[in-house]
Amino acid sequence: AQKITQTQPGMFVQEKEAVTLDCTYDTSDPSYGLFWYKQPSSGEMIFLIYQGSYDQQNATEGRYSLNFQKARKSANLVISASQLGDSAMYFCAMREAFDSNYQLIWGAGTKLIIKP
Amino acid sequence: GAVVSQHPSWVICKSGTSVKIECRSLDFQATTMFWYRQFPKQSLMLMATSNEGSKATYEQGVEKDKFLINHASLTLSTLTVTSAHPEDSSFYICSARELAGINEQFFGPGTRLTVL
């Protein structure tokens, strides 16, 4: 079974609009972390935001926020006031605490295109 | 944040030759480094986990004799693609794990390998 599911292969959004990228996860480990990364066409992986399973509040980093719904096992990324530079691939990833090497489990990604 | 470099950024080689890719953590010590492979429009695929001073742990389906990984110091890991063939052409990304902090993995900029 997929541990990280990103159901949107691609999205087109008008500039300045907010956008939500979906991510659902599956784990039996009570302690885990959820990450979002951005990968522009240059290929570098850029860390955006992190949410721990025990965090009471949703994580926020500037224009990025993570809508963490633990019971539904979802960790959607919300980008407010989208910009042309937000066009990129976005990956959701999970780290389970029982993995002593802290490997990341990756979703398939969502290609986001911001239209002017 | 912590910086990870990769060298070279891109390489073109002839079939049958070997190619070495370096991954360096520039301002922190990385006890664990990860090597990923990424095909176009796909997610990252973990190839191996490398711990300093010990043998790398390869993921299922990854040939350890073909993809040689050495992690001889706390700041350097190398991936050598031996007897490269066109099907080895891909984008290779390394990441390094920092001991402290929630964002334990920092990514290098990637190496694009093309085998003719």
Using DSSP's 3-state secondary structure scheme, residue B8 falls into: coil
Digit-coded pLDDT (tens) for B63-80: 999 999 998 888 999 999
**Sign of dihedral through CA atoms B22, B27, B31, B32?**
negative
Q: What is the DSSP letter of A43?
A: -
Q: Does the structure show a pLDDT above 70 at B102?
A: no
| Cβ <8 Å between A42 and B105 | no
Are A25 and A73 a contacting pair, CB within 8 Å? yes
Share of chain A above pLDDT 70, in %: 99
Pairing outcome for strands B111-115 and B10-13: parallel
pLDDT tens by residue, A32-56: 999 999 999 999 999 999 999 999 9
Mean pLDDT (whole number) for A82-90: 97
Please write the tens of the pLDDT for every residue from A54-70: 999 999 999 999 999 99
Q: What CA dihedral angle connects B58, B64, B66 and B69, to 10 degrees?
A: 70
In B, minimum Cα distance to A6 occurs at B43
Q: How many CA atoms lie within 13 A of A107 on its CB side?
A: 30
Rounded to whole angstroms, the Cα distance separating A64 from A35 reads 12
Contact A48, A38 (CB under 8 A): yes
Q: Pick from A33, A101, A106: which is nearest to B102 by CB?
A: A33
Cβ-defined contact of B105 to A43 (cutoff 8 Å): no
Inter-chain residue contact A101 with B42, CB threshold 8 Å: no
